[in-house]
Structure 1
């Protein structure tokens, strides 16, 4: 755990995985896209417990009486794109709750009621944050502690007064991700005889994907993906800061298919990763 002045950077402990065979992702560019989604339910000790320590009978009684005041502090991570068992793309989101609450109310085998309640809360939180529509009644609990890579998150030491659900901002070490991201481990090749531009690292993965990592200049601190403008052609990349000038402008050593371009912004490391399929001669 790393500490800042107002926050902790935590490394979530895996708990269990929820699988949604059908999810609707409201993409601002392409509209609603049906897809599959996995949610890692994780926990950490830094996130506070619910104010009220109630069991499932007490919670059920409150709900039956129309009392929906019970709140569970949680943190929702960023969207990732992973490969499922069929090698198809699927969305993945990590969610954290308090460790004591998890061990007491979610981990026991018989805790089906609380797990379903948390599933409903998580579905609402993910829709509010990422515009992903999930039906809690379609959730399937998998017999595994996690799927994909669980990213560190940043949680505030003091909850925000305006929050109903204590949904805190993700860590800057987590990433703003759009579309497919390069798989965790790949066979890679470098480019002999090609001098890579300053701040640029390129890898050829599996002989079919070009991964480009861009180290943003220290003088151009980026706070969100909206601050950047990226243009990718079959042989060239241009990355500019919207309020200033061009940051990168260079040609690739191989041709790529621009329609397959996917990007990842790491705010903590101030890095942009671009991945696209190559066009072989």
Structure 2
């Protein structure tokens, strides 16, 4: 099999440009990086550009699925496991780490205004998705669902991968979270397990109810969970992920506020079997 050296050189130049950009960025933003060691500014590489429509007004939406080594890899997933996952009731139960950027206005090929979103996934996982159309469709699906949850959108599933465009607009840096902070405190006891994994019932409350929000409070019902030791909680800036093991509950939601991860706390009440997560809202 012959190798196109120009493609390899082009890829190498992109990698070198990213490294140089990171060095310059760290020099100019050194203080910010020192103050917030749990996050990192990255400049992702272009990947694929997906065209779809918003269901409400049928406006064009473009999803730039980008790649970076700075984003963690998802768990190993074989093609057979992916087929089984897609046939399940909740394919979103498999978590793909990704960074979801803010919407930006662009101009399409018809000189019309449109909205684009940038999604960044792990570079090795992106390459795997490129090799198998089934994986590519899966990563587009979870990207679209992630944007819908975060920005309260409804996007058409009749999407199209653009052949001659890897990115709409210009690649810009993103600030990604490097580590999560699981915070669970335990109150009182009770037993019991149910065998089937499912999405738990939950409510999101804002305190105070009127005016500027100070706290976002998630109350999650977890019947059958005997102890906080069965829970894995990941509180992100705008995302909450909870897993109750073994294969009991899984919840992965985006919320409409930026919260202080390091100041968030959680309590699991064994009597009511409710997990309460209190997240201070970052003031705008």
Query: What is the TM-score when the length of structure 1 is the normalising length?
Result: 0.51
One of 123, 129, 135 as aligned partner of 2:144 = 123
Alpha-carbon separation, structure 2, partners of 1:166 and 1:75: 14
Q: Tell me the equivalent position of 1:134.
A: 155
Change (3 A) 1:93 1:74: same
Deviations 1:45-69 (A, max 9, x none): 111111x211222211233355743
Q: Tell me the equivalent position of 1:157.
A: 178
Alpha-carbon separation, structure 2, partners of 1:96 and 1:167: 16
Q: Secondary structure at the match of 1:132?
A: coil
Alpha-carbon separation, structure 2, partners of 1:114 and 1:83: 29
Q: Tell me the equivalent position of 1:79.
A: 103
Gaps of 5+ in 2: 1-21, 27-32, 182-233, 242-251, 257-281
Deviations 1:159-201 (A, max 9, x none): 35143359799xxxxxxxxxxxxxxxxxxxxxxxxxxxxxxxx
One of 52, 55, 61 as aligned partner of 2:78 = 55
Q: Tell me the CA shift for residue 135 of structure 1.
A: 1.9
Q: Tell me the equivalent position of 1:18.
A: 50
Q: Secondary structure at the match of 1:49?
A: coil
Cα RMSD of the aligned pairs, angstroms, is 2.8
Query: What is the TM-score when the length of structure 2 is the normalising length?
Result: 0.51
116-125 or 59-68: which moved more?
59-68
Gaps of 5+ in 1: 25-31, 170-222, 228-281
Alpha-carbon separation, structure 1, partners of 2:255 and 2:174: 9
Q: Tell me the equivalent position of 1:148.
A: 169
Equivalent pair of 1:76/1:168 in contact (CA under 8 Å)? no
Q: Tell me the equivalent position of 1:90.
A: 114
Equivalent pair of 1:16/1:42 in contact (CA under 8 Å)? yes
Q: Tell me the CA shift for residue 133 of structure 1.
A: 1.9
Alpha-carbon separation, structure 1, partners of 2:99 and 2:78: 22
Alpha-carbon separation, structure 2, partners of 1:168 and 1:156: 16
Change (3 A) 1:127 1:53: same
Higher-strand-fraction structure: 1
Higher-helix-fraction structure: 2
Equivalent pair of 2:38/2:178 in contact (CA under 8 Å)? yes
Alpha-carbon separation, structure 2, partners of 1:34 and 1:95: 21
Q: Secondary structure at the match of 2:72?
A: coil
